[in-house]
């Protein structure tokens, strides 16, 4: 446990503020709520020096909070507690070059929210905004609930999301697994360069691609386009309507279709092809193709 030698507490009114910018380096930023009208910054610092205190500046309708200096030989992470007024629902940007952003409360905005960490972690309970951007260069992202339009990206690290609501969501990972428990999005796009993609349940439209790794969708109700260069695809369809396209260059395609569904299936591999129809007016259409692998119907 860190021994903090200095606690610096500052307040700033947010009435009339449209854009809030929070900038720190190598610290743990904890976002909290307050019923008061002012934003409160509470810094738990490792050094008893005034130059380590944050600076606040207001320019027009922008409020910027910038972390103070740190000794060149510093070893450890300061704890920054930011108490946001519950009434503040305007734009917010939080960045930390090497550290963590943690929120155990609901982050809400009628505009945009932008969170960025170069190396560390981002862990959120709930985030809701018209536009959401969460960016991680190296580290993990974990969000329990997302509402709105979002772009979630990680160059290296695992992405874990509990629930997704809203129109447009894009999740991008260069290296690391992606797991989504429940998606209720009309337009969810997932791009993964290296790592497994798992969706436990999805209602709506999903487009997911994986260069190297297994693509697994356990419960799908809607429509989807799924592609895997190397790793294979596992898809379990629960709905009786929709259009699906599956393409795997190297890897098996494992497909489960509801027994009571009226469907058309066109499946093709290098070794065989399957054409099957069920019912008079199929509302479920599935096209599947693998270059090197087997198509398995459960």
Mapped to the 3 state alphabet, what secondary structure does the chain carry? CCCCCEEEEEEEECCCCCEEEEEECCCEEEEEEECCCEEEEEEEECCCCHHHCCEEEEECCEEEEECCCCCCCCCCCCEEEEEEECCCCCEEEEEEEEEEEEEEEEEECCCEEEEEEEEEEEEEEEEEEEEEEEEEEEEEEEEEEEEEEEEEEECCCCEEEEEEEEEEEEEEEEECCEEEEEEEEEEEEEEEEECCEEEEEEEEEEEEEEEECCEEEEEEEEEEEEEEEECCEEEEECCCCEEEEEEEEECCEEEECCCCCCEEEEEECCCCEEEEECCCCCCEEEEEEEEECCEEEC
First to last CA, the chain: 52
Dihedral sign for Cα atoms in the order 279, 280, 286, 291: positive
Low-confidence ranges of the chain (pLDDT < 50): none
**Domains identified in the chain, total number:** 1
218 belongs to a structural domain = no
Q: Using alpha carbons, select from 88, 83, 84 the residue that is nearest to residue 42.
A: 83
Residue 213's φ and ψ, nearest 5 degrees, are: 145, 160
228 belongs to a structural domain = no
Quote the tokens at residue 284: 């479920």
279 belongs to a structural domain = no
55 belongs to a structural domain = yes
Q: Are 54 and 65 in contact (CB under 8 A)?
A: yes
Angle at 194 between CA 203 and CA 217, to 5 degrees: 20
Q: What is the pLDDT of residue 74?
A: 66
Q: What is the pLDDT of residue 249?
A: 93
Rounded to two decimals, the pTM is 0.93
37 belongs to a structural domain = yes
Angle at 147 between CA 29 and CA 143, to 5 degrees: 40
8 belongs to a structural domain = yes
32 belongs to a structural domain = yes
Q: Are strands 79-85 and 38-45 parallel, antiparallel or unpaired?
A: antiparallel
Structural domain including 1 reads: 1-88
Q: What is the pLDDT of residue 1?
A: 54
215 belongs to a structural domain = no
Quote the tokens at residue 57: 């500046």
């Amino acid at each position: 446990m860190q021994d903090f030698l200095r606690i610096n507490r500052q307040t700033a009114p947010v009435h009339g503020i449209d854009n809030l910018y929070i900038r720190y380096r190598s610290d743990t930023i904890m976002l909290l709520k307050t019923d008061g009208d002012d934003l409160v910054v509470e810094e738990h610092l490792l050094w008893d020096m005034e130059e380590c205190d944050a600076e606040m500046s207001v320019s027009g309708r922008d409020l910027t909070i910038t972390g103070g200096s740190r000794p060149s030989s510093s070893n450890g992470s300061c704890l920054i507690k930011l108490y946001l007024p519950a009434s503040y629902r305007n734009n917010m940007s939080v960045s930390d070059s090497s550290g963590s952003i943690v929120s155990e409360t609901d982050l809400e905005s009628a505009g945009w929210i932008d969170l960025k960490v170069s190396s560390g972690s981002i862990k959120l309970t709930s985030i809701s905004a018209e536009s959401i951007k969460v960016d991680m260069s190296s580290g993990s992202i974990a969000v329990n609930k997302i509402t709105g339009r979002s772009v979630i990206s990680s160059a290296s690290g695992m992405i874990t999301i509990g629930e997704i609501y809203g129109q447009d969501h894009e999740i991008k990972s260069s290296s690391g697994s992606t797991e989504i428990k429940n998606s209720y999005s009309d337009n969810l796009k997932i791009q993964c360069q290296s790592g497994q993609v798992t969706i436990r349940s999805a209602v709506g439209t999903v487009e997911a691609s994986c260069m190297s790794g297994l693509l697994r969708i356990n419960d799908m109700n809607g429509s989807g386009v799924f592609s895997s260069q190397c790793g294979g695809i596992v898809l379990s369809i629960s709905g009786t309507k929709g259009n699906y396209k599956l393409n795997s260059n190297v890897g098996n395609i494992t497909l489960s279709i509801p027994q009571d569904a009226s469907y058309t299936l066109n499946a093709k591999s290098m070794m065989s092809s399957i054409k099957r129809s069920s019912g008079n007016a199929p509302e479920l259409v599935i096209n599947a193709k693998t270059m090197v692998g087997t198509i398995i119907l459960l």
